[in-house]
Amino acid sequence: MIDLDNLKNQLQVIAKYGSAMAVLGWDEEVNLPPNGHVFRGEVLAQLSADIHKRLTDKQFVTLLNKLNKPDSLKKLSLDNQVIVRETKKDVDLATKLPTEFIERSVKLSSKAFPLWAKAREKSDFSIFAPVLEETIKLKQEEAELIGYKDSPYDALLDAFEPGMNTKKLDAVFEPLAKSISDMIKTIAKSPKLPTTIYDLAKQNELNHDIVATIGYDLESGRIDTSPHPFQTTLHVTDVRVTTRYDEKDFWVSLGSVIHETGHAMYEQGLPAKYWGTPRGESMSLGIHESQSRLWENFVCKSQPFVSYLYPLLVKKYGTLKYTEEQLYKWLNRVERNPIRVESDEVTYNLHIIIRYEIEKDLMEGKLQISDLPRVWNEKMKQYLGLDVANDALGVLQDVHWAHGAVGYFPSYTLGNLNAAQLYAAAKKAMPSLEAGFAKGEFKQLLDWLRVNIHSKGRTYSSTDLIKHITGEDLNPAYLAEHLETKIKLAS
């Protein structure tokens, strides 16, 4: 099939540019000397423009449309149909956004980032407000270019979570917010562990040992240090994670390494033979986040995992000043915190829902930028019962809007919802699963994820995938039930 091979070859060339960008991006966060940032931005812009040009190239689009005709499609294998169908979606989206618009977006976020950083540093929202207003206007323009049925926010959501929209999210998020707000009324005082110094080199060794045991292939990956932990894929044979360290809290690094390893194992489990095509790509942010959350919160904060972890800590750091039971309770503590990234897994979802409601109202023109700090603080009080000390610890805490990422936040809670439902299905399918964790056995779970999720690429939409695996639509009851156990531990 010459046309199909031609399409695949061109997609693989595009993927090579994507890989180069991933290396440059990784290096930017991990290594780049201060003076190197400006030029690095120019190189990334060049490569990004090349990808856009190739994806919207006339001959390429003609080839794709030819393959996408019903007569041609039905001659293809199911895997190849996925490639054509999903590439068509990508190309349609790329075509809707003209180069001029992309350039304006990149420029605006270049301008917005330092203003946000300054505003946060000085805790002065007025420094960021004008450029945030511009950003929202640009995102509204983007929504118009992409098109939508009900809300302009739907157009943005769809890019991160194909098929997702405000109607569906409202139906899940509203009851979730209510039930969590009710739950947290009963939280007792949060447990503390006695102060312990954890040598950084030893933390690094332990992190490597644990994620290698879990299933992260370090022959095809590596762990580095960066201010904001992340995972990036340079290729299926080179999937990297980063972390950060706190000498007084080993979980700061281990927890984030496990989280990022969850992402990394998804990427390492994508089918190598389809690398560069949608059949070899991850499904959505919400599915991606389900993998990181599943390992971080469902596996690695479980009682059996803590039984496995505790002796490793003792071996590394000597006798500890706390028991295994204390460690387990401390890892699972629930504690209201005004900062999203420092929150426990229960209240975390309220942080997301607040951002979702605000983004939706901004996009729909129902909320003015000037009212944003007030509304933020009101919602923090309403949902979390917290008073926000200042805007740096409030509306200015996240970098996302400065990067022009609007519609991204819901994926975090979708990840939690997906993880809860998937983990329940996994436990049902493998009753001895958690018993294995205590012995350091994780292969059963990883294999199950490989077969059911990782190997599928973009074959199914996230909603179809969840239904396919768990036998039902996305059901918030699983997450609620899981969070209840945390609340019980904490009260």
H or E element in which residue 486 lies:
helix 477-490
Question: Site size for a copy of itself, by CB under 8 A?
Answer: 35
Contact flag: residue 186 with a copy of itself (CB under 8 A): no
Which one, 275 or 437, has the nearer CB to a copy of itself? Answer: 275
Q: Which of 54, 122, 222, 427 binds a copy of itself (CB under 8 A)?
A: 222
Contact flag: residue 114 with a copy of itself (CB under 8 A): no
Which segment (35-43, 108-116, 178-186, 313-321) binds a copy of itself by CB under 8 A?
A: 35-43
Report the b/e string of 457-481 with b at 16+ CB within 10 A: bbbbbbbebbeebbeeebebebbbe
How many CB atoms are closer than 10 A to CB 5? Answer: 9
Contact flag: residue 227 with a copy of itself (CB under 8 A): no
Q: Which of 40, 111, 122, 467 binds a copy of itself (CB under 8 A)?
A: 40
Largest CA distance in the chain: 69
Report the site for a copy of itself in 246-285 (rule: CB under 8 A).
Answer: 275
Of the listed 86, 260, 357, 359, which one is catalytic? 260
Which segment (37-45, 135-143, 325-333, 345-353) binds a copy of itself by CB under 8 A?
A: 37-45
Q: Which of 220, 303, 307, 475 binds a copy of itself (CB under 8 A)?
A: 220
The candidate with the shortest Cα–Cα distance to 200, out of 251, 246, 257, is: 246
Contact flag: residue 36 with a copy of itself (CB under 8 A): yes
Contact flag: residue 218 with a copy of itself (CB under 8 A): yes
Contact flag: residue 23 with a copy of itself (CB under 8 A): yes
260 annotated active-site = yes
Alpha carbon 248 to chain centroid, angstroms: 26
Residue 85's contacts (CB-CB under 8 Å, 6 or more residues apart) are: 68, 73, 278
Q: Shortest distance, CB of residue 438 to a copy of itself, whole angstroms?
A: 30
Q: Walk across the sheet containing 221-225 and list its strands.
A: 221-225, 238-243, 231-235
Residue 312's contacts (CB-CB under 8 Å, 6 or more residues apart) are: 206, 209, 210
| 373, HSE (Cβ side, Cα atoms, 13 Å) | 19
Q: Residues in the chain, how many?
A: 491
Which one, 188 or 272, has the nearer CB to a copy of itself? Answer: 272
Residue with tokens 């002065």: 124
Which of the 8 DSSP states describes residue 232? Answer: E
Q: Shortest distance, CB of residue 18 to a copy of itself, whole angstroms?
A: 9
Which one, 235 or 427, has the nearer CB to a copy of itself? Answer: 235
Distance between start and end Cα atoms, the chain:
63
Residue with tokens 């790329």: 94
Q: Give me the residues that bind a copy of itself (CB under 8 A), please.
A: 13, 16-17, 19-20, 23-24, 26-27, 31-36, 38-40, 42-43, 46-47, 217-222, 224, 234-235, 237-238, 240, 275
Positions annotated as catalytic residues are: 260
